[in-house]
Amino acid sequence: MQTPQQRFSKARTIFKRRSGLLRMREAIDSGIHRTMLYAMLEEGVIQRLSRGLYRLTDLPEMGNPDFVAVACKAPNAVICLISALSFHEITNQVPHEVQLAIARKTAPPHLDYPPTRIFIFSNSTFREGMETHRLDGVAVRIYSPAKTVADCFKYRNKIGLDVAVEALKLYCRHRDTDLNELLRCARICRVQNIITPYIESLI
């Protein structure tokens, strides 16, 4: 009798070509029938990360499952604000949601999991400071540390000025601090006059 791994070997190969992770539509388009996908789920060959998103179960445990799930289901969004601060380790806040930036006039993604909060960025601020990090085999877009600090001052009324100031303090202590880049991002976000007195008090 075939083991589940043998029975689903072709489908497993398709998954592995995509870092072990597929959305329902991607799986069907790649030749994995919906009934086979459900059979793989029932046999424990794959697991459901969120609605319509599946991953092979025999892969190493994920380090960033929430970011990966968001990147797969909302590839045009960018991890921002407190979520980005947490990724760059320049906050003491514990994120309870994934905060995402989308460009103005972009349709917001509909995500049932993980919990998310959407922020609308102007086209100019959306494009700046975007980095791509490979997390668990998936390309995830996250704003750079400098851009994130500037964004936090721009959205201080929504996330709290104390969060922005704390992030600035931790950023300035970091060995890779680039104040010129921070001020450039602050100008783009139109918060240079707000952030400059805080910077001057720290240096």
The reported pLDDT for the residue numbered 2 is 55
pLDDT band at 69 (very low <50, low <70, confident <90, very high): confident
Distance CA 155, CA 164 (A): 9
The reported pLDDT for the residue numbered 10 is 87
DSSP 114: S
Q: What is the pLDDT of residues 127-180, one digit of tens each?
A: 999 999 999 888 999 999 999 999 999 999 999 999 999 999 999 987 678 899
The reported pLDDT for the residue numbered 4 is 60
Whether pTM exceeds 0.85: no
Mean of the pLDDT values across residues 67-77? 89
- Only one residue has tokens 């103005």, namely 104
The reported pLDDT for the residue numbered 5 is 63
3 state SS of 32: coil
Distance CA 156, CA 133 (A): 26
The reported pLDDT for the residue numbered 182 is 95
pLDDT band at 198 (very low <50, low <70, confident <90, very high): very high
Partner residues linked to 98 by β-bridges: 116
The reported pLDDT for the residue numbered 185 is 96
% of the chain exceeding 70 in pLDDT: 97
Pick the residue with more confidence: 35 or 4? 35
CA distances (Å), 95 to each of 37, 87, 89, 129, in order?
32, 10, 12, 21
Q: What is the pLDDT of residues 1-33, one digit of tens each?
A: 556 666 788 888 888 888 788 888 888 888 888
The reported pLDDT for the residue numbered 72 is 86
3 state SS of 27: helix
- Length of the chain, in residues: 203
Q: What is the pLDDT of residues 40-68, one digit of tens each?
A: 888 888 888 877 888 888 888 878 888 98
CA distances (Å), 179 to each of 80, 121, 187, 203, in order?
19, 23, 12, 10
